[in-house]
Amino acid sequence: MNVQQISTFFAIASGPDGGCLLQTLPMFAVVLAIFYFIVLVPTKRQRQEVQQFLEGLKVGDKVITTGGIYGQVTRLGGDSVQLQIADKVRIEVSKAAVGGYQGQPPVQDAPASEEAKG
Q: Does 18 score more than 60 pLDDT?
A: no
Can you say whether residue 41 is alpha, beta or left, with left for phi > 0 and alpha for psi between -120 and 50 degrees?
Answer: alpha
- Contact, 93 vs 101, CB < 8 A? no
- Structure confidence by residue, pLDDT tens digits, 49-87: 999 999 999 999 999 999 999 999 999 988 999 999 999
- Structure confidence by residue, pLDDT tens digits, 31-42: 999 988 898 888
* DSSP class per residue in 38-88: IIIHHHHHHHHHHHHHHHT--TT-EEEETTS-EEEEEEE-SSEEEEEEETT
The strand order across the sheet containing 62-65 reads 89-94, 80-86, 70-76, 62-65, 98-101
pTM, whole model, 2 decimals? 0.63
